[in-house]
Chains A and B, each alone.
Chain A
Amino acid sequence: MEVVLGQVEQLPALLAVCRSALVRAWDPPTLERALDWGRYFQHLHDRLRARPRPRLRHAVGQRLRRARSGAPLAFGQLGRCAELLGLALLENRALPPAACRRLLQRLLQPPAARPGRLALLARRKAACCLLEPLRSSPPSSPGGPEPRLAAEAGLLLGRLRDEPPGEPRWLGGVLQELPQPRAFRVVAAALLLVRQGGGGQQEEEAGAGPLLSWLLEDAERFAAFCQQLPGSLLASLAAHYSQISERYLDLLTGWGSSLLYDPLQGQWVKGCPDEAELSWEELRERFSCLCKGPEMLSRQTQAALKLLKARDGDFQVCGLSVWTDLLLEWSSLGCPGGGFFFFFFVLLGLAYDLASGLV
């Protein structure tokens, strides 16, 4: 067993070499040996799946993660090892011609190649290319995230489910590979996918847990997340995850509180124009998405707004409290003759100030 584990531990390093310039020195026999290792690991994976030996499987997973260099690998990836190494080598321009020729023979040509695996890949890629443009443009496409996002989210979830419970240390690093709005979109898609999956609770936990902690552990990150994603998407996340809805409402409260009413323009404006906060329109859009959500979420949102409105003095007219205005918007009463009311209230306010000053 120890011998096997020792070999497994070498896999991440082997993969790293296949992706490096070190392959420049490889001759065909070296290449053959690398591919043979790939096959061996695949074989090992298949055997452990056919006749489960939980202890050995667990130990294999542990050894794969123990490796310091290279990408994090999990047990499931042993099963695709030949492909992992083969494609890494194909993409590596440093591989010299003789070794490359052998690689092509082994990967693609009969009888060495496993029938059709890579041909199927090429076919699927062509299928994506043919069918993707036929989808209607996003706004009218009903349900589900855009396919590329969904694919990335699906892979991310698959990888998380292959991980023992606890925090995978690699998550942050891997998500950094994507530019920010995209990383956020992938995480959001993955969180929604978990809830659609109909999998067991344990499976849900394994997928969603680490993503939620990554998202919520850093206030700045969460703020950026809520700022960069559209309100409808955030509302569906809030509908599924109470942890998100609470923090999201807090964040919106903060943003709303910092808006100021500009009496000259007759609208709410940002306190500091440079701050990474939401404008009145953005805030309104987000709240309206929340109110249009499932009943629970809608009630929670309205209750929060009413509480905030009461805290601000419970006025029933525009221009005094951002919360009043939002509630008025939402109850679709609008704000008829807002300017007039504002003028009236400024006078009232003055009178109030004077009165309190006198007291």
Chain B
Amino acid sequence: MEQNTTVPTLDFKYWLDKAVEWGQATTLETQKDVCLHLPQLQEFLQQTYETLKHMNSIVAIQQFPLIGQLLGRLCWNPFVIGYDESQKTLMWCLCCLYSSEPQNPVELKANSWIRSLLCHLLSSSKWESNEAETSTFISALGYTSADYYCHLVENIVSSLVTELRGNQFNGLTVQGSVPASRVNAVSLFCLPLITLPDITPLLETLLLYHGGSSKEILSSQFLEAVNDAFLKKKIPLSESSVFSLWLRHLPSLENATLHVLDQLVSIQMNSLEEVASVIKDSFLPQAASHPAIFRIVNEIFKNALLETDGTPEVMTIIQVFTQLFVQVLQNENKQHKFPLKAYFPHHYQPLVVALLRRPFELPATCWSQHLTHISNMVKALVEDTNISSSDLLEVWFLVACFGEWLDIAAEQLLKAAVEPDALLWLLAFYYCPQTKNLQRIQTMAEARAVYNHLMMLFNTTTLSVRDLQAAVNSITDTEQCYTQHLTTHLLTNFLLFSSGGHMIAQEFISHITETTDRSKEVRSLLIRTAYRINQNGEENQKTVKLVNELLQKLNV
């Protein structure tokens, strides 16, 4: 029964034609064609094996008269044998065709043919005349072909690596360099072998190889496949070779960036440490120390944010990425540093410099002053009547990338005695990046009202959830969502840093979870706070404990 369902899908004729075509011509075009079809062929072999394993060998040969020819030809094609797991499946298929009790000369011949094929695949066989001596020598030493080919492939790889590197170092002697066509062929021939650990040094050398011409000399199929294998963690690659790959092949960099986004959006974030470790693992922040890479990654992130309508998860990912990127920049050797302008060419440089300062570089007492300075700069930029909406978006995105300072602004408003206007304005701008000044003025007015109210309640020791809720509702009944986000931000900090807030925090969070859709937002705020506290380690124990308890509650 199963045979009937699987037979029609197995197109032996198609693959036999392909195998014949591949076997006859050895041009670059056929080789490209082989590489293109390898994944499909592997799938086909897998299906064939699934069918064969339930069959007796005689029945199999009767049912698929072309199978012998096809498998035989494939065994002689090194692209097929070298690719991923094809060789394994091919050998399984051959095993299925071997008959344990051959009844007639044809079956005997088939058996003998299968053994020849397997020997061809596995031994430094005595049947291949040029290797006869090697084979005797190896077995006289007590080794097998497995030991021999392990050494051989290593030596071939290192010889190719030496050749390619040698020419890189005397880059001046262009005539002596490896011809571009041969480098291209090496990259194409590596394609099926990418996941074979022995050739990793060759992959890395190729990725770092540029040759004399400005045109790409490596096969684009190869570049795509290497990037894919790297992203799926099938192969390890050195940092420098990955950077070189991304610099020379834009689609790979795009894929890498989208891959990180996909990865992070699909998991439930429990802590920013987790997010940071995934991002670090991706090599993106390290690679971004190259300005061209940074700008492209940043652009992709911006588009992702716009396309998802500013999803908080995406925003958080971008903020963590920026933070890690800044760390990399600061750890870099000063000599190799690019100017900041190279990373942010279209921005007001004093603002960039201010945003790039890490909070721990300044004493906490200076934070509000620093934030006021930032706020004033941003205000001057966006209140310029000539500003276009796209420029406004750029400024907003720049500020948004450095979310740590925004969180600190909200915290400072409640924790420290500050002149609130500039800080409130910055938060209002972040939550309401509208071109219309009027809208921002309204948001600002509401934010100020909420803030004043919260400050009034700050020293109240006996506070009830209803008091707090009523206070907030009375002001934000306009249903303006920007104000709601801002209010949530301030409220959460109120719960964490006021004595009254501490008492009712648990209850209030439950209330929010039950009555509104803001629990995700609160969770995200708390996770960020927890991360910052863990990094700076200066917060008092009571707050740390509260943050963790609240997060636990929200995680349930």
Give chain A's interface residues, CB within 8 Å of chain B: 19, 71-74, 77, 80, 83-84, 87-88, 90-91, 93, 97-98, 100-102, 104-105, 108-110, 116-132, 134-136, 141-144, 147-148, 150-152, 154-156, 158-159, 173-174, 177-179, 182, 186
Enumerate chain B residues within 8 angstroms of A179, measured Cβ to Cβ. 133
CA distance A130 to B34 in the complex (A): 13
B546 interface hit (Cβ, 8 Å): no
Contacts A84-B144, A104-B98, A136-B178 given; indicate if A131 touches B88 (C-beta within 8 A).
no
By the criterion CB–CB under 8 Å, are A174 and B137 in contact? yes
CA distance A147 to B140 in the complex (A): 20
By the criterion CB–CB under 8 Å, are B159 and A126 in contact? no
CA distance A123 to B82 in the complex (A): 5
CA distance A133 to B417 in the complex (A): 75
List the one stretch of B1-9, B146-154, B502-510, B516-524 in contact with chain A. B146-154
A-B residue pairs in contact (CB < 8 Å), sample of 23: A73-B142, A77-B143, A80-B143, A80-B146, A97-B100, A101-B95, A102-B100, A109-B95, A110-B92, A123-B196, A127-B82, A130-B189, A131-B153, A131-B190, A132-B156, A134-B182, A136-B182, A147-B159, A151-B154, A154-B155, A155-B138, A178-B133, A178-B137
CA distance A102 to B160 in the complex (A): 40
Residue on A with the closest CB to B133? Answer: A178
By the criterion CB–CB under 8 Å, are B81 and A104 in contact? no
Enumerate chain B residues within 8 angstroms of A104, measured Cβ to Cβ. 94-95, 98, 118
Enumerate chain B residues within 8 angstroms of A121, measured Cβ to Cβ. 122, 145-146, 149
CA distance A186 to B155 in the complex (A): 14
B147 to chain A, nearest CB (A): 6
Enumerate chain A residues within 8 angstroms of B82, measured Cβ to Cβ. 123, 126-127, 129-130
CA distance A120 to B160 in the complex (A): 21
Enumerate chain B residues within 8 angstroms of A77, measured Cβ to Cβ. 142-143
Residue pairs across A and B with CB atoms within 8 Å: the count is: 207
Contacts A135-B163, A136-B178 given; indicate if A147 touches B149 (C-beta within 8 A).
no
Enumerate chain B residues within 8 angstroms of A143, measured Cβ to Cβ. 162
Tell me the interface secondary structure of chain B in the complex: helix
Enumerate chain A residues within 8 angstroms of B87, measured Cβ to Cβ. 119, 122-123, 126
A77 to chain B, nearest CB (A): 5
B171 interface hit (Cβ, 8 Å): no
CA distance A123 to B145 in the complex (A): 12
B121 interface hit (Cβ, 8 Å): yes
A208 to chain B, nearest CB (A): 17
**Interface 0/1 of B111-131, CB less than 8 Å to A:** 110010011011101100000
When the two chains form the complex, which single residue of B92, B100, B182, B196 contacts A101, counting CB atoms closer than 8 Å? B100
Enumerate chain B residues within 8 angstroms of A135, measured Cβ to Cβ. 156, 159-160, 163
Enumerate chain B residues within 8 angstroms of A118, measured Cβ to Cβ. 91, 122, 146
Residue on B with the closest CB to A19? Answer: B139
Rank and list the top 9 A-B pairs by shortest CB-CB distance, nearest first: A126-B82, A147-B155, A101-B100, A126-B81, A151-B151, A119-B88, A151-B152, A126-B78, A124-B149
B123 to chain A, nearest CB (A): 5
By the criterion CB–CB under 8 Å, are A127 and B153 in contact? yes
By the criterion CB–CB under 8 Å, are B143 and A131 in contact? no
Contacts A97-B111, A134-B186 given; indicate if A123 touches B141 (C-beta within 8 A).
no
CA distance A104 to B134 in the complex (A): 25
By the criterion CB–CB under 8 Å, are B122 and A124 in contact? no
When the two chains form the complex, which single residue of A93, A127, A147 contacts B193, counting CB atoms closer than 8 Å? A127
CA distance A122 to B153 in the complex (A): 12
By the criterion CB–CB under 8 Å, are B119 and A97 in contact? no
By the criterion CB–CB under 8 Å, are A90 and B133 in contact? no
CA distance A144 to B152 in the complex (A): 13
CA distance A150 to B134 in the complex (A): 12
A19 to chain B, nearest CB (A): 8
By the criterion CB–CB under 8 Å, are A131 and B157 in contact? yes
B34 to chain A, nearest CB (A): 11
B407 interface hit (Cβ, 8 Å): no
Enumerate chain B residues within 8 angstroms of A136, measured Cβ to Cβ. 163, 178, 182
By the criterion CB–CB under 8 Å, are A74 and B91 in contact? no
With A116-B88, A147-B152 already in contact, 14 other A-B pairs whose C-beta atoms are closer than 8 Å: A71-B139, A80-B144, A87-B123, A88-B139, A101-B100, A122-B87, A124-B153, A125-B121, A126-B82, A127-B153, A141-B162, A152-B137, A173-B140, A178-B133
Enumerate chain B residues within 8 angstroms of A90, measured Cβ to Cβ. 115, 118-119, 122-123
Most buried by B among A128, A131, A156: A131
Enumerate chain B residues within 8 angstroms of A142, measured Cβ to Cβ. 162-163, 166
Enumerate chain B residues within 8 angstroms of A182, measured Cβ to Cβ. 133
Enumerate chain A residues within 8 angstroms of B91, measured Cβ to Cβ. 108, 118-119, 122
B190 to chain A, nearest CB (A): 8
When the two chains form the complex, which single residue of A102, A117, A127 contacts B196, counting CB atoms closer than 8 Å? A127
By the criterion CB–CB under 8 Å, are A91 and B123 in contact? yes
Enumerate chain B residues within 8 angstroms of A124, measured Cβ to Cβ. 149-150, 152-153, 196, 198
- B residues 190-233 touching A (CB-CB < 8 Å): 190, 192-193, 196, 198-199, 202
Most buried by A among B78, B95, B111, B159: B159
Contacts A91-B125, A174-B141 given; indicate if A105 touches B95 (C-beta within 8 A).
yes
By the criterion CB–CB under 8 Å, are A151 and B98 in contact? no
Residue on B with the closest CB to A173? Answer: B140
Residue on A with the closest CB to B96? Answer: A109
A82 to chain B, nearest CB (A): 10
CA distance A263 to B122 in the complex (A): 61
Residue on B with the closest CB to A71? Answer: B142
By the criterion CB–CB under 8 Å, are A122 and B121 in contact? yes
By the criterion CB–CB under 8 Å, are A125 and B149 in contact? yes
Most buried by B among A90, A125, A147: A125
B99 interface hit (Cβ, 8 Å): yes
B102 interface hit (Cβ, 8 Å): yes
B50 interface hit (Cβ, 8 Å): no
Enumerate chain B residues within 8 angstroms of A186, measured Cβ to Cβ. 137
A163 to chain B, nearest CB (A): 11
B102 to chain A, nearest CB (A): 6
CA distance A102 to B151 in the complex (A): 30
CA distance A72 to B143 in the complex (A): 10
CA distance A143 to B140 in the complex (A): 29
Most buried by A among B122, B145, B157: B122
Enumerate chain A residues within 8 angstroms of B276, measured Cβ to Cβ. none
B136 interface hit (Cβ, 8 Å): yes
A261 to chain B, nearest CB (A): 41
Residue on B with the closest CB to A110? Answer: B92
By the criterion CB–CB under 8 Å, are B111 and A148 in contact? no
CA distance A148 to B166 in the complex (A): 21
By the criterion CB–CB under 8 Å, are A127 and B198 in contact? yes
By the criterion CB–CB under 8 Å, are A80 and B147 in contact? yes
Enumerate chain B residues within 8 angstroms of A125, measured Cβ to Cβ. 81, 121-122, 145, 149
CA distance A109 to B118 in the complex (A): 13
B491 to chain A, nearest CB (A): 56
CA distance A106 to B477 in the complex (A): 75
CA distance A124 to B88 in the complex (A): 12
B151 to chain A, nearest CB (A): 4
When the two chains form the complex, which single residue of B112, B139, B151 contacts A150, counting CB atoms closer than 8 Å? B151
B463 interface hit (Cβ, 8 Å): no
B376 to chain A, nearest CB (A): 62
CA distance A121 to B79 in the complex (A): 15
Enumerate chain B residues within 8 angstroms of A154, measured Cβ to Cβ. 151, 155
Enumerate chain A residues within 8 angstroms of B94, measured Cβ to Cβ. 104
By the criterion CB–CB under 8 Å, are A93 and B115 in contact? yes
Enumerate chain A residues within 8 angstroms of B137, measured Cβ to Cβ. 152, 174, 177-178, 186
CA distance A128 to B91 in the complex (A): 19
Enumerate chain A residues within 8 angstroms of B153, measured Cβ to Cβ. 124, 127-128, 131
B85 interface hit (Cβ, 8 Å): yes
CA distance A152 to B125 in the complex (A): 15
Most buried by A among B85, B118, B157, B186: B118
Contacts A84-B144, A178-B137 given; indicate if A119 touches B150 (C-beta within 8 A).
no
